[in-house]
């Protein structure tokens, strides 16, 4: 049997690779340099599914993924995964802890470790990389005394030394990932649905009316936030995660009423709720 191909935010050694391995350890994993590239790989058939980060417990939503789902891609969320993240300070073997001039990492990892970096290396030049693994690659070839914020797998893959462990501002540091596919997941009875919507006009009570639809039918909202619509200043897209599947009779009816009161409405997928393994 041919292995399923899964695209992920690479290169090897990223936290997203760890999430993809957790999701399907038997799959053929294909690294791509950006969230948009992962989506394109699935859209064009290079991979059957794609794994990307969407939310971190310390730094909030991953905007690249949200903007892709709202504005650019027809792909749907078919699964969610949750991974404990441990950020380590990695250096070339033999590098001294004193005198580090540059620290590389993905902006999310840098933000998650802000307190450590500001306290221990306030004069270091912080450089954003496309991923935590790409940061380790850059650090290993740097001509200056450098470090990277990454995980232990990246250290093993690229021959780096762990200089400091668990430098994230708080523990647990948890990231939620989603699996993107052309279709979402059939109903399981324990599901979530993610949707996005906005309004054509701006008047008092619009959002309250929509939220009231969910409240009147006892539909629990697991999350609500907003993103700029990219159309006009002050016009936002509202994002909701609700408990239930879009094909459930109750949910389906409420979504139809919400859609009728909005100018833009998009279901980004229904999928099984992640449950911590017992």
**For 166, left (φ over 0), alpha (ψ -120 to 50), or beta?**
left
Q: Is the pLDDT of residue 232 over 80?
A: no
The reply to whether 14 belongs to the active site is no
Instruction: Decide whether 5-84+173-181 matches 191-272 in CATH topology.
Output: no
Predicted local distance difference test score (pLDDT) of residue 268: 97
Torsion of CA 246, 248, 251, 255, to 10 degrees: 50
In this model, does residue 108 exceed pLDDT 80? yes
- Per-residue model confidence (pLDDT) at position 231: 77
pLDDT in tens, 2-56: 789 999 999 999 999 999 999 999 999 999 999 999 999 999 999 999 999 999 9
pLDDT in tens, 252-264: 999 999 999 899 9
List, for residues 71-92, the tens digit of each pLDDT value: 999 999 999 999 999 999 999 9
Domains of the chain, by residue range, sit at: 5-84+173-181, 88-164, 191-272
251 by DSSP, 3-state: which? helix
Q: Is 177 a catalytic residue?
A: yes
HEC per residue, 103-168: EEECHHHHHHCHHHHHHHCCCCEEEECCCHHHHHHHHHCCCCCEEEEECHHHHHHHCCEEEECCCC
Asked whether the predicted pLDDT for residue 269 surpasses 80, the reply is: yes
Considering only residues 53 and 200, tell me which one the structure prediction assigns the higher pLDDT: 53
Residue 276 has what pLDDT? Answer: 75
Reported confidence tier of residue 278, pLDDT bands at 50, 70, 90: low
What φ, ψ does residue 7 adopt, rounded to 5°? -85, 150
What confidence score (pLDDT) does residue 1 get?
65
CATH no. of 191-272? 3.30.70.260
Give CA–CA dist 148/216, Å, rounded: 50
Output the pLDDT for position 32. 96
Render pLDDT for 141-191 as a digit per residue (tens, 0 to 9).
999 999 999 999 999 999 999 999 999 999 889 999 999 999 999 999 999
CA distance 227 to 100: 37
Catalytic residue among 32, 116, 177, 197: 177
Q: Which residue has the tokens 């001039």?
A: 101
Q: What is the mean pLDDT of residues 134-140?
A: 96
Residue reference for tokens 């394109």: 40
Report the pLDDT value the prediction gives residue 204, as an integer from 0 to 100: 73
Whether pTM exceeds 0.85: yes
Topology at the third CATH level for domain 88-164: D-Maltodextrin-Binding Protein; domain 2 (3.40.190)
pLDDT of residue 90: 98
Determine contact, residues 54/176, Cβ cutoff 8 Å. yes
Q: CB-based contacts of 183: which residues, under 8 Å, 6+ apart?
A: 76, 78
Q: Please give the pLDDT value at position 229.
A: 82
Neighbouring CB atoms inside 10 A of 140's CB total 17
Residue 161 CB partners (closer than 8 Å, separation 6+): 90, 91, 92, 93, 94, 95, 155
Identify whether 41 is preceded by a cis peptide bond (ω within 30 of 0): no
Q: Are 274 and 82 in contact (CB under 8 A)?
A: yes
Active-site residue among 16, 65, 175, 198?
A: 175
Task: Return phi, psi of residue 28, to 5°.
Answer: -90, 110
User: For 5-84+173-181, CATH number?
Assistant: 3.40.190.10
């Amino acid at each position: 049997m041919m292995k399923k191909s899964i695209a992920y935010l690479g290169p090897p050694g990223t936290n997203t690779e760890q999430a993809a391995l957790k999701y399907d350890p038997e799959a053929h994993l294909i690294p791509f340099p950006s969230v948009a590239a992962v989506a394109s790989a699935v859209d064009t058939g290079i991979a059957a599914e794609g794994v990307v980060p969407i939310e971190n417990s310390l730094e909030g939503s991953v905007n690249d993924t949200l903007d892709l789902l709202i504005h650019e891609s027809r792909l749907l969320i078919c699964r969610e995964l949750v991974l404990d993240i441990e950020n380590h300070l990695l250096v070339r073997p033999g590098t001294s802890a004193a005198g580090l001039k540059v620290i590389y990492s993905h902006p999310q990892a840098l933000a998650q470790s802000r307190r450590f970096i500001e306290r221990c290396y306030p004069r270091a030049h912080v450089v954003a990389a496309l991923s935590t693994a790409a940061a380790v690659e850059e650090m290993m070839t740097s001509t200056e005394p450098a470090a990277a914020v990454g995980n232990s797998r990246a250290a093993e893959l690229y021959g780096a030394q762990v200089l400091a462990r668990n430098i994230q501002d708080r523990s647990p540091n948890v990231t939620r990932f989603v699996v993107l596919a052309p279709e979402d997941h059939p109903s399981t009875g324990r599901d979530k649905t993610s949707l996005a919507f906005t309004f054509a006009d701006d008047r008092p009570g619009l959002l309250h009316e929509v939220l009231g639809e969910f409240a009147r039918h006892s539909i629990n909202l697991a999350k609500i936030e907003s993103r700029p619509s990219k159309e006009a200043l002050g016009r936002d897209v509202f994002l909701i995660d609700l408990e239930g599947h879009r094909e459930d009779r109750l949910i389906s009816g409420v979504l139809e009423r919400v859609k009728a009161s909005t100018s833009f409405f998009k279901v980004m997928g229904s999928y099984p709720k992640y449950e911590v393994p017992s």
